[in-house]
Amino acid sequence: MLRKLSIQILTVGGLIGIAAPHMAAAQVSGFDLGSMGGFAVVIDNVSNFQLTSDSGITGSLGIGSMTGSPQFSGGSVSGAVAFASATLPNGVTAGTPGSGTGGTQGSIAAGVASVGSAISTMSTLSSYYVGQTGTTLSLNLGNSSTTVNVETGTKAANGSAYVFDVGTSFNVTNGGTITISGSASDYVVFNFAASSTLKFNDSIVLAGGITSDHVLFDYTGTNQISSAANGAYVYGVLDAPNAALSLDNIKFDGRIMAGKVNTNSSIQSGAYVTQPTTYSPPASVPEPRSVVLLLVALGGLAWVKTHRLRYDRL
């Protein structure tokens, strides 16, 4: 009987041994913004950054490489202003983030590692998703409106998000609205062609529980990103590591990473960027085969225990 029990235990062990090599690593349901989760706006590779007349950032501002100095002419930052450089640029002192009459309610510091980390993370995300094949989506709407169901997109290879290829067909003018519909657990990426001109002329809103941090607008091109002066609302995360930024009279609820070598970027004339209150990274999801392996092991242990009880009664 003891020999029989030993064989049963070895059998369970063999089943686990066979299944183990076929286990895949746990997938991540969503893209992780990493250190970008601590910022509303991160600007890199620019000559100057301007935050002008009646504009502002609700949250923190990160500045990477900059050859000039930031200019705050009436604009303000409610959170911290963090510089990646070891020293503060000319004209920047404690309590004064740059030239002009604007200011910040948070700290001003140089040598902040999280700025460089955020730039690296967003560049990596952009490079990964632009290489994913998504569902073709035309957003050449004019003044019409449309709803995009997130789950009609194509899942990225790592299962992290639904992907859409917008190409160059992005045109929403006054009166048009794009509604992105998805659940609170959904993540979605919109890839824009590098040759496109990205201009937020009207509103992009969310429905169904999906949040700004789960919507990524991925643009690898170098054309300036702008907005029309019409008070549009946009929700999401703009990832444009190679483009300059010029936002005018727009309310952007989410995060922005942008920057183009030797150019100026600006948030001006009634444009506001509001950082989401909290950031929660995506959770790892057990790969289905891992769950099967766990069930096999638990079932096997229960089986051995049952037979051991029978043996003890003999």
The residue with greater pLDDT, 73 or 153, is 153
**184 backbone φψ class: left, alpha, beta (φ>0; ψ -120 to 50):** alpha
Name the DSSP letter for residue 151. Answer: G
- Return the number of other C-beta atoms located less than 10 Å from residue 110's C-beta: 15
CA distance linking residue 98 with residue 154, whole number of Å: 44
Domain limits, the chain: 2-26+286-313, 34-274
Picking from 210, 247, 36, the residue whose alpha carbon sits closest to that of residue 125 is 36
Tokens coding 81: 């202003």
pLDDT band at residue 286 under the 50/70/90 scheme: low
| Average pLDDT across the chain, whole number | 82
**91 backbone φψ class: left, alpha, beta (φ>0; ψ -120 to 50):** left
Greatest alpha-carbon span in the chain? 90
Q: How much of the chain, in percent, has pLDDT values that exceed 70?
A: 77
pLDDT band at residue 21 under the 50/70/90 scheme: very low
The residue with greater pLDDT, 202 or 308, is 202
- Which pLDDT belongs to residue 291? 40
- Which pLDDT belongs to residue 52? 84
CA distance linking residue 286 with residue 270, whole number of Å: 45
Average pLDDT over every residue of 52-73: 89
- Which pLDDT belongs to residue 24? 45
- Which pLDDT belongs to residue 284? 65
pLDDT of 111 over the 70 cut? yes
Report the predicted TM-score, pTM, of the whole model to 2 decimal places.
Answer: 0.82
The residue with greater pLDDT, 100 or 40, is 40
End-to-end Cα, the chain, rounded Å:
9
CA distance linking residue 26 with residue 184, whole number of Å: 20
pLDDT of 139 over the 60 cut? yes
The residue with greater pLDDT, 3 or 190, is 190
**HSE-CB for 46 with a 13 A CA cutoff:** 29
Picking from 267, 247, 153, 256, the residue whose alpha carbon sits closest to that of residue 212 is 256
